[in-house]
A and B are shown apart, each in its own frame.
Chain A
Amino acid sequence: MTDFFPTSEAEAAAFISDCAAAGKTIRILGGGTRARLARDIAADAQLSTQNLTGVTLYEPAEMVISARSGTPVREVLALIDQHNQMLPFEPLDHRTLLATTGEPTMGGLAATNASGPRRIYAGAARDHLIGARFVNGRGEIVKSGGRVMKNVTGLDLVKVHCGAYGTLGLLTEVTFKLRPKPERVATLIYKRLDEASAIRLLGEALGSPFEITGAAYLPIGHGRDFSRALLRIEGFDASVSYRIDELRRRFAAYATPREALEGPDADRLWRAVRDVEFLSAPAEAPLWRLSVKPSDAAACVAHLRAIDGARYFYDLGGGLIWFTDPSGQNAALIRDTLAAMNGHATLVRGPDALRQAVPPFSPLPAAQEKLMRSVKHAFDPQRLINPDLMYPGL
């Protein structure tokens, strides 16, 4: 396999163009921190974005930033932090979980739609990606969207890259909209609630006008010997105080949370939720990401709890369940349970043998799969870029 490290978009396009002429397949690598997500693939060449770096536009007053795709996420966060701004979708960092090293990049973040707990309030990465430049499988440089908040000029080719894992082309530059950092962040912790009550509490709180920006439930053993339901409130100082009081009053029947948690301890707790730290060890234990309607979450887990050594916690008000199945023997049960609830199960981590035996993403209905193939064809007719990474033959 040849490795290529383009230093410009033009170089990257020329390389892909040459590959297209020769019919060579290409694997795209950002920081490599999610290299073991999705399916293993064999490619003739590997293209790394490690030298495609640099912020190309940052207008704090317009809350917009553009960066070349190999730019470390860390650099972007440090820069916007100086202006008290943030990526609203709270991208997670999978390095602990996947036991990888390397540096998460802006391109990898976009390609994987990396989004953390604030997603429930602010939306995912795809909701904030407003522009992109990419090289398609023909080696053409294409741009879509731009740097303005509202743009409906023609077909939006931007969002589809989020969660396509690079199968539709090499992103060379991404533009995100930003938000101001909240003045104050506070977390109410409701202890010792059973799962059904906890999820009801999270749902009712999310249905209240108090703009909950994080709603997670940690069963016993996730850092404490009692369970914790977490509600995060953000905003101006006065708002946060008011909302804490209202939430305490309104949901007093569930439990009485103590003093709201603020500062570094609270940041650490949400980072642990975001990065799935509680389930990072043992490093090879198969880990699943289950998505269901929150109202089905407790029932879904009730089905799976009997799995030997199962551990799990809930984020997004219950809509996301991180679940480990240490033996790796229950993939079918997990998939079937979720399918019966109109949910989805994604295998995020597992030993090679399991990852070869079990497709990482839930299977698609035939009509949708057909559509996906024609969309892939529209971007990459020879199936050269990250072929088979998401689904075989795609």
Chain B
Amino acid sequence: MTAIAFPAPDATILARRGEIIAGLTQLVPAECLVTSDIEMRVFETDALTAYRRMPLAVVLPRNTQEVSAILRYCNDLHVPVIPRGAGTSLSGGAIPQEDAVVIGVAKMNRILEVDTFNRFIRVEAGVTNLGVSNAIVAEGFFYAPDPSSQLACTIGGNVGMNSGGAHCLKYGVTSNNVLGVKMVLMDGEIVEVGGPGPDHPGFDLLGFIVGSEGQLGIVTEATLRILPIAEGARPVLFGFASSEIAGACVAAIIAAGIIPVAMEFMDKAAVAICEAFAGAGYPLHVEALLIIEVEGSETEMDAQLAQIIAIAQQHEVQVIRQSQSAMEAAQIWKGRKSAFGATGRVADYICMDGTVPTGQLSYVLKRTGEIVKEYGLRVANVFHAGDGNMHPLIMYNVNDPKEQEKAEAAGNDILKLCVDVGGCLTGEHGVGIEKRDLMRHQYADVDLQQQMRVRAAFDEAWLLNPAKVFPLDGRVMG
């Protein structure tokens, strides 16, 4: 796999590998250092597995002080650093390079403070997304952003990617749910930004930090907004004769003033794949399927569902399946949540992630089908319909370099289409290495330069995750 370029490693750094590792040994105990090829193999790539690079070394510090010491050391030696959570990035955001030290937050996985009265939780960056909700479920609270990878992905990675999930339609993405972070800058300086309570003085630096893909610093702690769990939640399945009608139904629900907790869309191909894997009872004959979830008390859910069903009926809905029990509800979600894994069993695939204005959904779906077909490939679509965040899964054979190239080219065409209809290149998976070279399609040079100047304000020498997000040429430094 060769289409995405990596910068040539700095030979002077490679030559000093032994010395650098010896230096790191002074900063952390041996159990925090990974340097053998065999052990480093896990860190060679993330969930964009078509690309891999062996790093110089991997460090797994235990606390903020250690992160600070390692960063200061790397900064002094001018060694690039790759921040890493669980490595589930789909855009290659956590893929290393040969002359860089990976700093992983996996060992920093303590819950530091639970405060349900003030409705926040403070955790170390290595706590998993699900770990946060698990820590507070007994008290009737949860953490809202719920990426499908929530079992594995870390809060640090969520902050890095501004992750979302099915329930973000109502509750927003990571940036709407992070109150503050403790972060170490490349020069080792520790800064605290935000915190519980409103109106922190100074610029809203959290706005930059969330979604910065490891470019501004390493997050070691986060203070997160937590929410009371609704009394009940109930998903309903709707099957439609076409994607256009399903899309129109989504728009009509919103126009009626209803914001469900989730509105997930699957096309026929995705339904078949997920059903074969999860046995969720999905109807196989429909062209488009919506999973709409409402929450509240039984009375409230009944009232809201009655409205939603009435709207669906005006849109010639073919199948309506209401879950009658918690188990049935879990089944419905299991099919959707396993979409990525289930597709992986059928074929290798790349998962695209663009956002479009919801009014453009059916057009973009149609064009996506055509584009992929032109390349002689297949596609399945599962996505967050309420906020227009699309996920075409383009299937190909990983052992055929030609097919891989085609898949990537088709993906690029689709992402450009998303931008052209008024959307963007990525709604939640980030730019990483994957979409780095498409950035100029969405942004003019001045826009990118302004972003890069901000980036350089945090990391002057451009050492943090350097090959990601911005095109490799034309970089602006301070």
Contacts and interface: CB of A to CB of B under 8 A. Distances in A.
A292 B443 CA distance: 40
Given A148-B427, A159-B175, A320-B199, 15 more contacts: A140-B446, A150-B173, A150-B427, A156-B162, A156-B208, A163-B203, A163-B204, A180-B259, A207-B116, A242-B297, A289-B199, A291-B197, A293-B118, A365-B192, A372-B203
Nearest to B216: A155
A377 to B, nearest CB: 7
Nearest to A315: B198
B203 A160 contact: yes
A136 B447 CA distance: 11
B263 to A, nearest CB: 12
B160 to A, nearest CB: 10
A24 B439 CA distance: 34
17 contacts: A62-B359, A113-B204, A146-B424, A151-B427, A153-B424, A157-B454, A158-B207, A180-B257, A246-B297, A295-B117, A319-B118, A319-B197, A364-B201, A365-B191, A375-B454, A378-B478, A379-B454
Interface string A130-144: 000000100011111
Contacts, number: 249
Contacts of A333: none
Contact of B229 (A153, A209, A361, A374): A209
Contacts of A163: 199, 203-204
Contacts of A238: 299-300, 303
B198 A154 contact: no
Contacts of B304: 236
B174 to A, nearest CB: 9
A149 B299 contact: no
B191 A368 contact: yes
Contacts of A295: 115, 117-118
B330 interface: no
Nearest to B139: A207
Interface in A365-383: 365, 367-372, 374-379
Given A181-B257, A343-B197, A239 B296 contact: yes
Given A149-B387, A208-B228, A61 B168 contact: no
Given A207-B119, A209-B228, A148 B422 contact: yes
Contacts of B451: 144, 154-155, 157
Contacts of B202: 361, 364, 368-369, 372, 390
Interface in B424-458: 424-431, 435, 439, 442-444, 446-448, 450-451, 453-458
A178 to B, nearest CB: 10
Nearest to A149: B387
B235 interface: no
B61 interface: no
Contact of B162 (A152, A203, A207): A152
Interface string B131-163: 000000000110000000000000000000110
A123 interface: yes
Contacts of B204: 113, 126, 159-160, 162-164
Closest 6 CB pairs of A and B: A159-B207, A180-B257, A150-B427, A149-B387, A374-B457, A378-B453
Interface string A32-66: 00000000000000000000000000011111100
- Specify which of A62, A158, A295 lies most central, judged by the most chain B CB atoms within 10 Å of its CB: A62
Contacts of A63: 254
Nearest to A141: B446
B457 A371 contact: yes
A266 B427 CA distance: 39
Contact of B423 (A144, A146, A209, A363): A146
Interface in A89-135: 113, 119, 123-124, 126-127
- Specify which of A140, A207, A236, A292 lies most central, judged by the most chain B CB atoms within 10 Å of its CB: A207
A274 interface: no
A348 B470 CA distance: 40
B196 interface: yes
Interface string B105-120: 0000000000111110
Given A140-B450, A180-B259, A367-B191, A154 B203 contact: no
B316 to A, nearest CB: 19
B37 to A, nearest CB: 33
Given A149-B388, A156-B175, A144 B207 contact: no
B119 A152 contact: no
A16 to B, nearest CB: 13
Q: How many interface residues does chain A have, given as a range?
A: 35 or more
Nearest to B226: A207
Nearest to B299: A242
Nearest to B415: A153
A148 B424 contact: yes
A209 B231 contact: yes
A142 B203 CA distance: 19
Interface stretch (B18-26, B80-88, B272-280, B350-358): B350-358
B78 to A, nearest CB: 19
B379 interface: no
A294 interface: yes
A344 B175 contact: no
Given A209-B230, A236-B300, A149 B389 contact: yes
- Specify which of B185, B228, B458 lies most central, judged by the most chain A CB atoms within 10 Å of its CB: B228
A362 interface: yes
A200 B175 CA distance: 28
Interface in A154-204: 154-160, 162-164, 168, 179-181, 183, 203-204
B359 A378 contact: no
A179 B231 CA distance: 23
B143 to A, nearest CB: 14
A342 interface: yes
A8 interface: no
A119 B198 contact: yes
Interface string B248-291: 00010011011100000000000000000000000000000000
Nearest to A203: B117
A142 B454 CA distance: 13
A279 interface: no
A346 B193 CA distance: 17
Contact of A155 (B208, B255, B358, B425): B208
Interface in B69-127: 115-119
A368 B193 contact: yes
Contact of B201 (A84, A320, A361): A361
A147 interface: yes
- Specify which of B357, B430, B443, B446 lies most central, judged by the most chain A CB atoms within 10 Å of its CB: B357
Given A346-B199, A375-B457, A155 B211 contact: yes
Given A155-B208, A291-B197, A150 B358 contact: no
Interface string A280-318: 000000000101111100000000000000000000100
Interface string A191-233: 0000000000001101111000000000000000000000000
